[in-house]
Amino acid sequence: MKSINDYEIKPRDVADKSEAHSIEKAIRLALDVETQALRLNTQTFNRNKYKTVKRLDDYDELKGEARSIKEKSIRELPELIAVLTKKIESRGGKVFLARTGREASEYVRDVCLNHGARLVVKSKSITSEEIGLNHELEKAGVEVAETDLAEFILQVSGEQPSHIVAPAIHRSRETISELFRRSFKMDRALETGEELTEFARLILRNKFLSADVGISGANLIAAEEGTILLVESEGNIRLTTQLPAVHVAVAGVEKIIRSKKDFGVFIELLASSGTGQALTSYTNILEPPLETPILNLNGRDDSKREFHLVLVDNGRMAIRDDEELNEALYCVRCSACMNSCANFQAVGGHAFGGECYTGGIGGAWTLATTGSLAKASFAELCTGCSRCVPNCPVRIDIPRLNSVIKERLIKTAGGPSLQQRFFGHFSELGKLASLVPAAANFATNFPAMRRLMESAAGIDRRRAIPRFAKKTLAKEYEGYRRNKKGGPRSGVSLAKTVLFADVFTNYNNPNVGMAVVRAFDKLGIPIRLSAVLDDGRGLQSQGMLAQAKRRAIRAAQYLSQLIDEGNDVIVAEPSVLSMFRRDYASLLGDAELSGKIELHSFDPIEYLEKLRLDGKLDVIGHLSVSSHADRRIFYHAHCQLKTIGAGSVAAEFFRRLGFNVDVSDVECCGMAGSFGYKKKFYDVSKRVGDDLMGQINKTLSDDRSAILLASGTSCREQIGGGMQKGVLHPIEFLESMLP
If one compares 244 and 300, the residue with the highest pLDDT of the two is: 244
- Segment 224-230 shows an average pLDDT of 98
Q: pLDDT tens across 642-683, in order?
A: 999 999 999 999 999 989 999 999 999 999 999 999 999 999
8 Å CB contact between 391 and 335: no
Q: Which domain-ending residue is among 569, 592, 617?
A: 617
Q: Above 70 in pLDDT, residue 488?
A: no
Q: DSSP readout, 546-563? A: HHHHHHHHHHHHHHHHHH
Judge if 174 and 209 occupy the same domain: yes
Of 574, 594, 617, the one marking the end of a domain is 617
What pLDDT does residue 12 have? 43
For residue 14, give Cα distances in angstroms to 29, 161, 166, 354, 366: 19, 11, 19, 13, 16
Residue 626 has pLDDT above 60, yes or no: no
**Rounded to 5 degrees, what are φ and ψ at 266?**
-75, -30
pLDDT at 6 over 90: no
**Residue 304 resides in a domain:** yes
pLDDT in tens, 405-433: 999 999 999 999 999 999 999 999 999 99
| Percent above pLDDT 90 for the chain | 82
One domain for residues 100 and 226: yes
Q: Are residues 565 and 672 in the same domain?
A: no
Q: Chain-wide mean pLDDT for the chain?
A: 92
Give the DSSP H or E segment for 229: strand 227-232
More confident residue, 494 or 648: 648
- In this structure, the answer to whether residues 604 and 659 fall within a common structural domain is no
pLDDT tens, residue by residue, 77-89? 999 999 999 999 9
Considering the domain architecture, whether residues 243 and 195 belong to the same structural domain is answered as yes
Residue 410 inside a domain? The answer is no
pLDDT (average), residues 441-458: 94
Q: Is residue 405 part of a domain?
A: no
pLDDT tens digits, 342-354: 999 999 999 999 8
Cα angle 157-138-229, degrees, rounded to a multiple of 5:
80
Percent of the chain with pLDDT over 70: 95
If 0-12 CB within 10 Å is exposed, 13-18 middle and 19+ buried, where does residue 710 land? Answer: buried
- Decide which of 80 and 190 is more confident: 80
Residue type, 613: L
What range defines the domain where residue 731 resides?
620-739
Buried/exposed 267-297: b ≥16 CB within 10 Å, e otherwise: bbbbbbbbbbbeebeeebebbbbeeeebeee
- What are the b/e assignments for 499-514, b being 16+ CB within 10 Å? bbbbbbbbbbbbebbb
Please check whether residue 62 is in contact with residue 56, taking contact to mean a CB–CB distance below 8 angstroms: yes
Mind listing the pLDDT tens digit for each residue in 250-283?
Answer: 999 999 999 999 999 999 999 999 999 988 889 9
250 strand-pairing partners: 310
- Shared domain check, 585 and 512: yes
323-349 mean pLDDT = 96
Q: Is residue 443 part of a domain?
A: no
End-of-domain residue from the set 566, 588, 617: 617
Whether residues 602 and 670 share a domain: the answer is: no
Say whether pLDDT at 192 is over 90: no
DSSP string, 449-464: HHHHHHHHH-B-TTSP
- The pLDDT of residue 484 is 76
Number of other residues whose CB lies within 10 A of the CB of residue 634: 26
d(CA 215, CA 145): 10
- Res. 617 pLDDT band, cuts 50 70 90: confident
Examine the domain organization and report whether 585 and 666 are in the same domain.
no
CA distance 555 to 601: 13
Question: Band of the pLDDT at 621, cuts 50, 70, 90?
Answer: confident
Please check whether residue 226 lies inside any domain of the structure. yes
Asked if residue 396 is part of any domain, the answer here is: no
Q: Based on the fold, state whether residues 591 and 635 are members of the same structural domain.
A: no
Instruction: Taking residues 529-540, report their average pLDDT.
Output: 97
* Euclidean distance between CA atoms 577 and 604, whole angstroms: 10
With bands split at pLDDT 50, 70 and 90, how would you rate the model's confidence at 627?
low
Residue 642 has a pLDDT of: 97
Q: Do both 520 and 608 map to the same domain? A: yes
Give the pLDDT mean for 445-467: 93
CATH code, domain carrying 717: 3.40.50
Q: Is residue 411 part of a domain?
A: no
- Rg of the chain over Cα atoms, rounded to whole angstroms, equals 28
The mean pLDDT of 613-622, rounded to a whole number, is 84
User: Is the pLDDT assigned to residue 9 strictly greater than 50?
Assistant: no
Query: How confident is the model over 157-168, as a mean pLDDT?
Result: 92
Q: Are 409 and 366 contacting, i.e. CB atoms less than 8 angstroms apart?
A: no
Q: How many domains does the chain have?
A: 3
CATH number at residue 52: 3.40.50.10420
| H-helix segments, 467-544 | 473-483, 503-507, 510-522, 537-542
Q: What is the per-residue pLDDT for 21?
A: 47
Angstrom distance (rounded) from CA 714 to CA 654? 22
Alpha-helical (H) ranges within 91-211 are 101-114, 126-130, 133-139, 149-157, 173-183, 193-210
pLDDT band of residue 14 (cuts 50, 70, 90) is: very low
| Distance between CA atoms of residues 715 and 184, nearest Å | 48
Find how far residue 77's CA is from the centre of its chain: 27
Residue 603 region by backbone torsions, left for phi larger than 0, else alpha for psi between -120 and 50, else beta: beta
What's CA 292's distance to the chain center, in Å?
A: 42
Of the candidates 306, 316, 186, 288, the residue with the CA atom closest to the CA atom of residue 229? 288
Q: What is the pLDDT, as a whole number, of residue 186? A: 80
Within a domain: 98: yes
Does residue 2 have a pLDDT over 50? no
Q: Quick one: average pLDDT of 137-162?
A: 95
One domain for residues 226 and 264: yes
Residues 501, 645: one domain? no
pLDDT of residue 7: 43
